[in-house]
Amino acid sequence: MIRTNWTRAEISEIYNTPILDLIYRAATVHRQHNDAQEVQVCTLLSVKTGGCPEDCAYCPQAARYHTDVKVHKLMEVQEVIGKALEAKEAGSTRFCMGAAWREVRDNRDFDKVLEMVKGVSNMGMEVCCTLGMLTSEQANKLKEAGLYAYNHNLDTSEEFYGDVITTRTYRDRLETLENVRGAKISVCSGGIIGMGEGENDRIGMLHTLATLPEHPESVPVNALVPVEGTPLEDQEKVSVWEMVRMIATARIIMPKAMVRLSAGRVRMTLEEQALCFLAGANSIFAGDKLLTTPNPAVVQDQQMFQILNLKPRQAYKGLEKAAIVTA
Ligand code: SAM
Ligand code: DTB
Ligand code: SF4
């Protein structure tokens, strides 16, 4: 039932299905594999902001673009734990810490991040990091500290990648994903639409994700948040139907993955988000900020959950927490 041998042609056919049939099929697959009422609520925190040496064309944190983002050195461990507590109290079960780094370096900052991971994990939240490239040794250290998941996006297809980022390769990204998998950390990897890519690039990215030796447990689908000062500042907003097609296709080909309706919700109505949940999205980022850009208010999301009869997913569902932390 779970396939990792999808062809690009098969994925293209699914992606191009008439929209209502596509939604119906994705909703059906979703109900066969998951509790469709359940949506995971995650909170992001930028623990180190801006000043990044990379050239990702979408990113407000790249040092080379002139954006309003203020550079901030790595936060203090206690401050991060405080933010995680706030997130937990607001109903989040996964806490994801992001750093504007090209890669992790073996220095005091990394030791501090390991402390943050330990602290958040001990609070019973699923702890996730997104810190750039990782070696297998670094992945192992994060795992030992209690890291549950690691986010590292492919962002787009291999073909379009060079139009967006030139300072590292698609191969680099795949290697980090291998290192994460090798350390038995849950993999979170997805991408962005609305950067000027074609449908083929979207299909290509989904194909790469769905033909990894194991599907990522989590697949974020971001709509570009165009930020003034970045090369993609003038990109047009993608239509909700494109978001729905991405989510539905991801749901059909990776039925058990958490498909995350990620960046871009501030520009979507409740009804548009409802379509995304119907198409199989079962996770969101909550809190009024993503990493550096705005996100809907927590109360607004709580109302949405009530109206749509959604319920937040518990942390470590189906897994024995003690076994994970001490593994
Ligand atoms: N520096 C690390 C890295 O790039 O792997 C981790 C943080 S980075 C900000 C995490 C992800 O955020 C990127 O891979 C990208 O998919 C997403 N992202 C960044 N800026 C975005 C934007 N303006 N709109 C949508 N997604 C964005
Ligand atoms: C992901 O795919 N989306 C999140 C998370 N992983 C790290 C980040 C979205 C960032 C949007 C731009 C910003 O707020 O800086
Ligand atoms: Fe740096 Fe990550 Fe932004 Fe790229 S996406 S510029 S690596 S912070």
The residue type at 113: V
The residue type at 84: A
Q: What is the DSSP string of 240-308?
A: HHHHHHHHHHHHHHSTTSEEEE-TTGGGS-HHHHHHHHHTT--EEEESSBSSSSB---HHHHHHHHHHT
Distance 186 CA to ligand 1 centre (A): 18
* pLDDT at position 16: 98
- At 324, the pLDDT band (50, 70, 90 cuts) reads low
Mean pLDDT (the chain, rounded): 96
Q: Which residues pair with 192 in a beta bridge?
A: 222
Classify residue 118 by burial, with Cβ atoms within 10 Å: 0-12, 13-18, 19+. Answer: middle
Domains of the chain: 19-309 (3.20.20.70)
Q: Is 59 a catalytic residue?
A: yes
Give the ligand 3 atom nearest the CA of 53: 1
Question: For 235-247, how does the pLDDT look when each residue is reduced to its tens digit (9 = 90+)?
Answer: 999 999 999 999 9
Which amino acid residue places its CA nearest to atom 4 of ligand 3? Answer: 56
Distance 261 CA to ligand 2 centre (A): 11
Q: Is 193 in the pocket of ligand 2 (CB under 6 A)?
A: no
Containing 15, the helix (H) or strand (E) segment is helix 8-15
Q: Is 67 in the pocket of ligand 2 (CB under 6 A)?
A: no
- At 326, the pLDDT band (50, 70, 90 cuts) reads very low
Q: Is 291 in the pocket of ligand 1 (CB under 6 A)?
A: yes
Q: Is 262 in the pocket of ligand 2 (CB under 6 A)?
A: yes
Containing 116, the helix (H) or strand (E) segment is helix 108-122
Which amino acid residue places its CA nearest to atom 10 of ligand 1? Answer: 130
Classify residue 140 by burial, with Cβ atoms within 10 Å: 0-12, 13-18, 19+. Answer: middle
Q: Which of 25, 42, 52, 129 is catalytic?
A: 52
Q: Is 98 in the pocket of ligand 1 (CB under 6 A)?
A: yes
Q: How far is CA 148 from CA 43, 228, 270, 286, 289, in A?
A: 14, 34, 30, 19, 22
pTM: 0.96
> CA–CA separation, 302 vs 288, rounded Å?
12
Average pLDDT over residues 14-41: 98
